[in-house]
Amino acid sequence: MEPSYESAVALVCRATGPLAGHLGAFVASLIDQQYAASVVHIKARHAVSFDRWLAKHGVALAELCETHIEQYQRRRRRWRRRIRAETRRRECYEVTDLLRFLRGHGVCEVARVDATQADELAAGFGQHLQNHQGLAAATIECYTTVAREFLSERFERDRVDLRVLRAADVIEFVQCRTKRMQPPSLKRVVNGMRSFLRYAQYRGEVAPGLVASVPSVATWTTTPRLPKAISPAHAQRAIDSCDLSTAIGRRDRAVLLLLARLGLRAHEIIALTLEDCDWDTGHLRVRGKGGRECLLPMPADVGEAIAVYLEHGRPTSTDRHLFLRSMAPIRGLLEGSDGIGSIVRYALRRGQVNAAHRGSHQFRHALAVRMLQGGASLPEIGEVLRHRSPQSTSIYATVDIKSLRSLALPWPGGAR
């Protein structure tokens, strides 16, 4: 049978096991996510085989869980032929995807997780950060992970009693991480520890002095690190490398222009929705750190690139994110390697740019450097980059070497 959407639908219609009433909706969801017909057919075939096994072993739908998938994987085929490792791996992936779909529709019970008291306290800490401090999701996740690791190492699986914490416990936790972490990563751990201990102090479970026991990480504020800015020529080569005859090229060009012209952060681009583009006024609504929103003017080339992508590149989808994945499942871009970072890396590779850095933040730094060299003041740069603290903008004062040289005093006694 030639793989097609129709053949996949016909395949699941023949199912008679406990999953029979839900496989049609499962296949329909795969088609809505724009999976290829051959992929949908394979997923349907695995789903029907799993349904047949469940019926044979009398497994009720409400009882379905990961244990049954493990038992299904250990089954033997007729004539005792061995199942290849790649087939088993693919089979496990497809059946697990089916179970996730069933749970999402309330057909099966959600997986039970044996959460420790440390996990529960860390989750409460994360909820506090979100509700009362409005931190970014990435920061909340980082601080919550630090709190969970600290509590797990200190109390293991015993009852968590914050009243017994001492300064030595905090110092030992931080010292263990100095052996395998660089200063920037270690500083996030230290900040997370201080935030958690303040939360514990707010709950009345630790003494105020315990927060002061968190060691500091050496940061040389008098000699800040130079911003990792991409050169204007390299940035333009990366933008010009996008193939505008393809949907991916149109999307990537719009993303790179947002990075280069407006200096947006990666997570800000990922969070953009269709409603954030105000075409009547030519503004773009951006959600920055801490949930803050602001309206930025949309440059003509940025607006044109976004419009071209929306008209001739964006896949049809119910997802309201502005930029979508080009492959199924069609949805908004993900954080990390599947998001803005990969777009930048591929663009630099296509443009044959041998840049020292591969991240997206170098475009933001380049915008600030270009503004500074064009005569903009540091407060103006901070306003464009939406910095909350002037100290965040002050790092660009070290970039304009010519201006700094004119402020240097002559060496006493003349040059030697």
Is 80 among the catalytic positions? no
Is 361 among the catalytic positions? yes
Task: Give residue-wise pLDDT tens across range 89-115.
Answer: 888 999 999 999 999 988 887 766 667
Q: d(Cα 75, Cα 95) in Å, to the nearest integer? A: 14
pLDDT at 172 over 90: yes
Nearest to 201 by CA among 162, 174, 166: 162
Q: Which two tokens stand for residue 307?
A: 């419009």
What average pLDDT does this structure show over 272-297?
90
Q: Are residues 288 and 338 in the same domain?
A: yes
With a pLDDT cut of 70, the percent of the chain lying above it is 89
Residue with tokens 């005792």: 80
Range of the domain at 173: 117-213
Whether 28 maps to a domain, the answer reads: yes
pLDDT at 396 over 90: no
Mean pLDDT over the full length of the chain: 87
Q: Are residues 284 and 342 in the same domain?
A: yes
Q: What is the CATH number of the domain that holds 201?
A: 1.10.150.130
Task: Give residue-wise pLDDT tens across range 237-247.
Answer: 999 999 999 99
Whether 222 maps to a domain, the answer reads: no
In this prediction, residue 201 carries a pLDDT of 93
Catalytic choice (237, 265, 267, 325): 265
Give 277's strand partners: 284
Is 188 among the catalytic positions? no
In this prediction, residue 126 carries a pLDDT of 93
Whether 219 maps to a domain, the answer reads: no
Q: Are residues 121 and 194 in the same domain?
A: yes
CB 234 within 8 A of CB 405: no
Residue with tokens 């931190």: 135
| 130 vs 400, residue with greater confidence | 130
Q: Which two tokens stand for residue 92?
A: 């496990």
Q: Are residues 312 and 354 in the same domain?
A: yes
Last residue of some domain: 150, 182, 213?
A: 213
Dihedral sign for Cα atoms in the order 308, 311, 314, 318:
positive
Whether 218 maps to a domain, the answer reads: no
In this prediction, residue 355 carries a pLDDT of 75
Task: Give residue-wise pLDDT tens across range 81-94.
Answer: 666 778 788 889 99
Is 251 among the catalytic positions? no
Q: Are residues 167 and 69 in the same domain?
A: no
Q: What is the pTM of this model?
A: 0.77
Q: Which two tokens stand for residue 416?
A: 């030697």
What average pLDDT does this structure show over 203-221?
83
Q: d(Cα 150, Cα 148) in Å, to the nearest integer? A: 5
Nearest to 101 by CA among 49, 67, 74, 61: 61
Last residue of some domain: 47, 74, 104?
A: 104
Instruction: Tell me the pLDDT band of 414, cut-offs 50, 70 and 90.
Output: low
Q: Are residues 100 and 160 in the same domain?
A: no
In this prediction, residue 37 carries a pLDDT of 92
- Total domains, the chain: 3
Instruction: Tell me the pLDDT band of 278, cut-offs 50, 70 and 90.
Output: very high
Q: Which two tokens stand for residue 102?
A: 């069933």
Whether 223 maps to a domain, the answer reads: no
Task: Give residue-wise pLDDT tens across range 174-183.
Answer: 999 988 888 8
Q: Are residues 129 and 187 in the same domain?
A: yes
CB 106 within 8 A of CB 88: no
Is 43 among the catalytic positions? no
Q: What share of the chain is helix, strand, coil (3-state, %, to 5)?
A: 60, 5, 35
Whether 323 maps to a domain, the answer reads: yes
Catalytic choice (228, 289, 358, 370): 289
Whether 225 maps to a domain, the answer reads: no
Whether 407 maps to a domain, the answer reads: no
Catalytic choice (22, 194, 364, 365): 364
Q: Are residues 382 and 250 in the same domain?
A: yes
Phi and psi at residue 294, to the nearest 5°: -150, 160
Q: Which two tokens stand for residue 359?
A: 């991240």
Is 396 among the catalytic positions? yes
Q: What is the CATH number of the domain that holds 281?
A: 1.10.443.10
pLDDT at 223 over 70: no
| 36 vs 414, residue with greater confidence | 36
Task: Give residue-wise pLDDT tens across range 143-170.
Answer: 999 999 999 999 887 788 999 999 999 9
| CA angle (323 as vertex; 40, 328 as ends), nearest 5 | 10
Instruction: Tell me the pLDDT band of 217, cut-offs 50, 70 and 90.
Output: confident
Query: HSE (CB half, 13 Å, CA atoms) of 172?
Result: 10
Give 283's strand partners: 278, 297
Last residue of some domain: 49, 71, 104?
A: 104
Q: Are residues 198 and 324 in the same domain?
A: no
Q: Identify the three-state secondary structure at position 130.
A: helix
Q: Are residues 63 and 135 in the same domain?
A: no
In this prediction, residue 135 carries a pLDDT of 79
Q: Are residues 205 and 253 in the same domain?
A: no
Q: Are residues 97 and 150 in the same domain?
A: no
